[in-house]
Amino acid sequence: MDENTDRKESIGVLRWLNRSREFRLSWPTRITLVRILLIIPFVDCMLSMHDPSVTKGGQEFLRHVAIVLFFVMAISDAVDGYWARHRKQITKLGAFLDPLADKLLITCASLLLVSERGHVDGFLLPMTVVVLIIGKDVLITIGFLVMYLITSRVHIVPVLAGKLATALQLTMVTAVLIGPDLVEVIPGYRELVHVLWWSAAAAAVVATVVYIRNGSRYIEDYERTQGQRPGTPGA
């Protein structure tokens, strides 16, 4: 009786260990989660830059801290993707969290840079640019939900246009954040930043069109496949 009890307990422990291994987060996913958590101190630093109670030197310090945090988050975006692909640690959770982290970071940064409290002096982001960038993420999110409601499937396929848009947006935010440090050093730097943020907005529009087209084709293929199944009306 004791041996049977011990055996059952051993089997239960082994099953628990196997389940814990299945739910263990991969390192790329952990990096992505850290990137999401770093958005909180980044937003706090940006909102405190124009706090009247903070000295001028303190405001500059906060801006530089925000630059470091944003740089770490931008680099980690490339690191976790490279790690997941080359170590074959791509998971459904990671595939969902990675673009979510990018969207949260870009959305928060764009809203801050267009606001009175979070903008960088001399580099106030145009509202049109912010609307186009955030509008892309809103439309893509709506399209994702529509696709899931129709197909009952999670279909996340990054495209080159989307990656280019994200890269331009990250570069744009970085260029704005370091603007006060370089505007007096590099001739025409302010104009270069203007070109960069309109390029990021244009890339967002192109990426939106590509994602909508690809999503429509996926839904059409799904409905066509469903219609060709035996016993399905119209087959």
Q: Look up the pTM and report it.
A: 0.79
Output the six-digit token pair for 219. 């839904």
In tens, the pLDDT along 176-206 reads 999 999 999 999 999 999 999 999 999 999 9
Nearest to 67 by CA among 94, 38, 87: 38
Query: Is 50 exceeded by the pLDDT of residue 223?
Result: yes
In tens, the pLDDT along 75-89 reads 887 776 666 666 666
88/140 same-domain check: no
Q: How confident is the model at residue 20 (pLDDT cuts 50, 70, 90)?
A: very low
Phi-psi region of 152 (alpha: psi -120 to 50; beta: other; left: phi over 0): left
Beta carbons within 8 Å of 49's beta carbon, 6+ residues apart:
59, 62, 63, 66, 117, 118, 120
CB of 203 within 8 A of CB of 164?
yes
77/131 same-domain check: no
126/108 same-domain check: no
In tens, the pLDDT along 113-168 reads 999 999 999 999 999 999 999 999 898 888 888 888 888 776 667 788 888 999 99
| Single-letter amino acid, residue 33 | L
Q: Which domain holds residue 197?
A: 122-235
83/144 same-domain check: no
104/38 same-domain check: yes
Q: How confident is the model at residue 232 (pLDDT cuts 50, 70, 90)?
A: very low
107/138 same-domain check: no
Tokens 């990671």 sit on residue: 94
221/158 same-domain check: yes
Query: How many structural domains compose the chain?
Result: 2
163/78 same-domain check: no
Mark which of 66, 94, 112 sits at the end of a domain.
112
77/127 same-domain check: no
Q: Is residue 11 part of a domain?
A: no
Q: Is residue 1 part of a domain?
A: no
53/88 same-domain check: yes
66/139 same-domain check: no
